[in-house]
Amino acid sequence: MSPKRFPCIVALTTVMAWAGAQKTIPDDNRKNESQTFVVDAGGRPIRALEVGSSLHIGARGLHPNTTYEFRLSFDRPAVESLEAAVSFARVTTDSKGQAPPFVLWYESGVIGCSDQEREGTKHTPYTYRTFEEAEQALKGKLLVTSAHLVERDETGKIPPMKLRVEHEPAALLRFPIVPRRSPAVYASNSKGCMLNSQLARTEDLYVSGRNFDPGETLEISAVPNQRLWFVGDPINDVTGPGSAAAPKRVVADRSGRFTVMVWNRQNQARGAYFICSRDRFYLLSTISSRRPHHGYCRKTTQQLPIF
């Protein structure tokens, strides 16, 4: 069958990151705190990563205008090669030797489900279909991030991945990962399995949530893509006919979970969207803690390709 190109609606997950200190940070982190640091999606320092949250790491005190390879591993001093890393990224520092926070690991490896996946497809190592699977696999593990200096090529003739990378890390950070306790909302299928994209007008769009208070009432919206969100930004739902506002109300069950259909297939339009949630008394915010009238909307950059 020849490939066809379909319009798609990218359903972007929203995961809250209010991780508190769950374990004591090893002493060697204090030695490197001027070089590498971890924050949540709102830029606030955290001392543990909750399962389902993305790992945002930054650096300072490194060589200016220099490329470093950041690697992620589990329970070891530092990975000796890129092939052994759970995840990696290359980042160039600014003139002050700083690297603003970037995502080194998306959703702690939780990839969810996909209607584009072929039956029997094998997942890459350290990826998990559900939060529960990730929590079981990652229980008690310590994340280790290391920054390795990448050879500078003044000629520009050497392929980037052929450049020599220093064996010894310029910065090292150990960081605990803990079971999820903060609320999370995400696009899903009707069974509650997380989705990162969906073909437009083929299936109804569902949203699932977990770790809410039992019996908590929330209002769920899908809103147009917005690069940055600030406290007080309006939440303009587009799930009704002709993109009119039609947010859905849902009540969390006794386990603090829910799955609700928020956008029927007939009303969908292709594009990229945020999933937002709020209850009768407050909106959930990645910008600040729970306060009245503050919006919680965050996109993930993890997307499935549509052909």
Is 300 or 194 the better-scoring residue by pLDDT? Answer: 194
Query: What three-state secondary structure class fits 120?
Result: coil
Residues in the chain: 307
Protein fold of 8-13+183-279: Immunoglobulin-like (2.60.40)
Question: Considering the domain 19-110+117-178 in this protein, what is its CATH number?
Answer: 2.60.40
Domains 8-13+183-279 and 19-110+117-178 share a fold: yes
Q: Does residue 131 register a pLDDT over 60?
A: yes
- Min mean pLDDT across 2-11, 192-201, 268-277, 285-294 is at 285-294
Q: In the predicted model, what is the mean pLDDT of residues 123-138? A: 92
Of 64, 60, 188, nearest to 130 (Cα)?
A: 188
Whole-prediction pTM value? Answer: 0.78
Q: How far apart are CA 183 and CA 218, in angstroms?
A: 12
- Cβ atoms of 217 and 250 closer than 8 Å: yes
Q: Compute the radius of gyration of the chain from its Cα atoms.
A: 20
Question: CA quadruple 101, 102, 105, 110: dihedral positive or negative?
Answer: positive
- Domain range summary for the chain, segments of one domain joined by +: 8-13+183-279, 19-110+117-178
Paired tokens of 87: 């995840």
Q: How far apart are CA 10 and CA 70, in angstroms?
A: 28
pLDDT at residue number 18: 33
Counting Cβ atoms within 10 Å, is residue 61 exposed (0-12), middle (13-18) or buried (19+)? middle
pLDDT at residue number 20: 32
* Banded model confidence at residue 279, pLDDT cuts 50, 70, 90: low
Q: Does residue 186 register a pLDDT over 80?
A: yes
Task: Tell me the residue type at 108.
Answer: S
Of 162, 269, 161, 277, nearest to 208 (Cα)?
A: 277
- Cβ atoms of 129 and 112 closer than 8 Å: yes
Given its phi and psi angles, is residue 157 left (phi above 0), alpha (psi -120 to 50 degrees) or beta? alpha
What's the half-sphere exposure (Cβ side, CA atoms, 13 Å) at 99? 27
Average pLDDT, the chain: 80
- Please report, rounded to a whole number, the percentage of residues in the chain having pLDDT higher than 90: 56
Q: How far apart are CA 219 and CA 214, in angstroms?
A: 15
Q: How far apart are CA 49 and CA 51, in angstroms?
A: 6
pLDDT at residue number 256: 96
Question: Which ranges of the chain would DSSP assign to H, the alpha helix?
Answer: 27-32, 131-138
Task: Give residue-wise pLDDT tens across range 63-117.
Answer: 999 999 999 999 988 888 888 899 999 999 999 999 999 999 999 999 998 767 7
